[in-house]
Amino acid sequence: MRDNDHFSLYGNALDASQARRARRWQRMFIDKFDFDPSEQYELSLVPNPYLGAEFGLQDIVRSGSGEPIDPSQGLAVGTVRMGYGHYRIAMAGASAAAAMGLTPYWLDLLAIPGITSDVINWWNTNYSKYSRLSQRSELFNKHVWESITTGERTLPGLNWALNKFPAGWPWRFIKANARDYRMSELFGPMHAALPPDLPILGSHMWNTMGAVAGGMENVVDMMFDNWPMAFQLIEGAKHGVQSPSGYYGFRVMRGFDDKGRMLSPTPPDALYYVGHHVDHELVENIEDDTSSRIDRMTGGEPRRLVITMGGAGAQRELFLELVRHCLPKIERREMTLFVNLGDHAENWTWLCEQLGDDVPVTLHDTWAGTKEFVDSIRSGETSGLHMMLFDNTFHAVYATNYLMRVVDVMITKPSELAFYPIPKIFNERVGGHEAWGAIRSAELGDGTVETRTGAETRQAIDLLVDETDLMEMYCESIVKNKSIGIYDGAYKCVELATGRRWVRDSSGAGRVELPVS
């Protein structure tokens, strides 16, 4: 029930004062950005200039001059540019949709002029600022940021601190869901301009909430992280959860009441365990890529590692520490190191200044050049220190995905990359909600536990470069995980939205199975 004075989530009613606060939150955005509920949106399609060639991606734009949106041939993928994780999930959905015979339509709320871009810009600025601050202040990270991002307070009486930050409340509780839904209702008029039967995947709950508010009928939420929080649930949508523990947490709404009360569960027809959201080209080639890793290891080639920087650009001091640790191994040709700086040009400048002119670095700063280089080392050798830097978010994110097939180990914070089929070293998290991504990977056997200090991360690097036992275990686990569908989440979300299925034969090769009419 979501009328002016009441709010409930699957039968769990918010008290009247919290419902009114959610309305006041919505009113703040209405006033701040002069929202006009009667504003009309004309939407059409243009080729995506960055990844259009990779999987036929089309952008949904606010213009009538493009091609019409066809719900019978396409599938919309909603996302937001807030960090890289939601873009990454959306790319997995787009890749799976293309493999299953659909044209993926990219719908970035930040790219649609109007209330959507106004609100997301406001959030993105604040989230990035506090995310970076969490990595520069141990007290802020431990007692404020971890509490905000998990809903678990580390100090008594923390409300005074939470109220000073844009989140304003722990995201785990239903009251956060109410505020996010009320805000996302403002995106309803834009979604109402889309065909109501157009299938749509949302990589962030604001995409999904806006689609439901706009009357769309085939809405699937590609749920992120492995720490259930109430703000990811949306009545009127189906939810694709990446892990069994996440499924249980969302099913029973574990910890979603701010007073600790037991809640009525989420109905089973709204919630689905689908597996990890991973790009088709990575899942389909797991056996070949894993075999190549083993061959390089047994052949004595330099171990290939990639370090990935997140969308907020945090942790650059840790990056510098790890690069310096790896330099002797690079010089001895025991390791080749790739560093994807994404679109953070300022961090490239800073790293070069810190490393000095004596450290040789190969920079890859165009997509065409990066692809050509990566393709050349797929069956060839490589050495040295390589850095990637791009002028757009698409290539910044997808370069890591493209590199995954030709590298041996990925070093990353336990973000959405925790769910990908490559041996992983997890450095310290940025926000408590990421902790369970590392736990999921470690228990599946395709990554380390979270290494919370630089010394622990350096130890993990040495073990995975100098020894063979962990690499062998992780590679074996990845192949086993594929065989039981662990990495099939993106396909399953497309199935939930369209009825199309992705099925595999005994060799692991897949094909699309269309719904019976």
What distance lies between CA 454 and its chain's CA centroid? Answer: 24
Of the pLDDT bands very low, low, confident and very high (cuts 50, 70, 90), residue 168 is very low
pLDDT at 160: 44
pLDDT at 83: 80
Task: Say if residue 314's pLDDT is above 80.
Answer: no
Provide mean pLDDT across the span 468-477. Answer: 98
Task: Say if residue 152's pLDDT is above 80.
Answer: no
Share of the chain above pLDDT 90, in %: 83
Count the alpha carbons within 13 Å of 35 in the hemisphere toward its beta carbon: 21
The amino acid present at 272, given as its one-letter code, is Y
Give me the residues paired with residue 12 across strands. 9
Q: Tell me the domain boundaries of the chain.
A: 1-122+169-278+488-517, 281-483
| Alpha-carbon torsion angle 192, 197, 200, 205, nearest 10 | 50
Provide mean pLDDT across the span 355-361. Answer: 94
Rounded CA gap, 47 and 390, in Å? 20
Of the pLDDT bands very low, low, confident and very high (cuts 50, 70, 90), residue 478 is very high
* Backbone φ, ψ for residue 215 (5° rounding): 85, 15
* Backbone φ, ψ for residue 201 (5° rounding): -100, 135
What are the structure tokens assigned to 185, written together?
């209702």
Rounded CA gap, 153 and 134, in Å? 15
Comparing C-alpha atoms, which of 513, 27, 11, 496 is closest to residue 257? 11
Task: Say if residue 131's pLDDT is above 70.
Answer: no
pLDDT at 163: 47
Instruction: Tell me the C-alpha to C-alpha distance, in Å, between residue 203 and each of 36, 208, 209, 221, 251.
Output: 26, 8, 11, 6, 19
Average pLDDT taken over every residue of the chain: 91
pLDDT at 433: 81
Give me the residues paired with residue 58 across strands. 47, 105
What are the structure tokens assigned to 497, written together?
């939205």
The Cα diameter of the chain in Å comes to 68
pLDDT at 133: 54
Task: Say if residue 161's pLDDT is above 50.
Answer: no
pLDDT at 316: 85
pLDDT at 406: 98
Task: Say if residue 183's pLDDT is above 60.
Answer: yes
pTM: 0.91
Contact in structure between 432 and 151 (CB atoms under 8 Å): no
Chain segment 232-274, per-residue pLDDT in tens: 999 999 999 999 999 999 999 999 998 899 999 999 999 999 9
Rounded CA gap, 343 and 387, in Å? 12
Provide mean pLDDT across the span 447-458. Answer: 96
pLDDT at 285: 97
Chain segment 10-56, per-residue pLDDT in tens: 999 999 999 999 999 999 999 999 999 999 999 999 999 999 999 99
- What are the helix (H) ranges across 310-392? 316-331, 345-355, 367-376
Query: Domain 281-483: which topology?
Result: Rossmann fold (3.40.50)
Contact in structure between 313 and 132 (CB atoms under 8 Å): yes
Chain segment 378-423, per-residue pLDDT in tens: 999 999 999 999 999 999 999 999 999 999 999 999 999 999 999 9
Task: Say if residue 158's pLDDT is above 50.
Answer: no
pLDDT at 144: 53
What are the structure tokens assigned to 165, written together?
């930050």
Rounded CA gap, 167 and 182, in Å? 14
Task: Say if residue 171's pLDDT is above 90.
Answer: no
Secondary structure in 3-state letters for 398-438: HHHHHHHCCCCEEEECCCHHHHCCCCEEECCCCCHHHHHHH
Pairing outcome for strands 424-426 and 219-222: unpaired
Pick the more confident residue, 182 or 136: 182
pLDDT at 266: 98
Rounded CA gap, 495 and 512, in Å? 10
Chain segment 74-105, per-residue pLDDT in tens: 999 999 988 899 999 999 999 999 999 999 99
